Amino acid sequence: MERSFVCHGEATIVYCTILYICIVASWC
């Protein structure tokens, strides 16, 4: 899965990590 769609620019590591877990765990 392409993760760089959010993990770039002004995105913080925390937001990136949370969103990644959200997608992987499917609890968005």
- What are the residue boundaries of the structural domains of the chain, listed by start? 1-28
Tens-digit pLDDT profile for residues 4-27? 555 666 667 888 888 888 889 887
* DSSP of 1-28: ---TTTSSTT--HHHHHHHHHHHHHT--
pLDDT at 27: 72
Q: How many angstroms separate the first and last alpha carbons of the chain? A: 16
Identify which has the larger pLDDT, 21 or 2: 21
Q: Are 16 and 7 in contact (CB under 8 A)?
A: yes
pLDDT at 7: 62
pLDDT at 17: 84
Quote the pTM value: 0.44
pLDDT at 8: 63
pLDDT at 15: 82
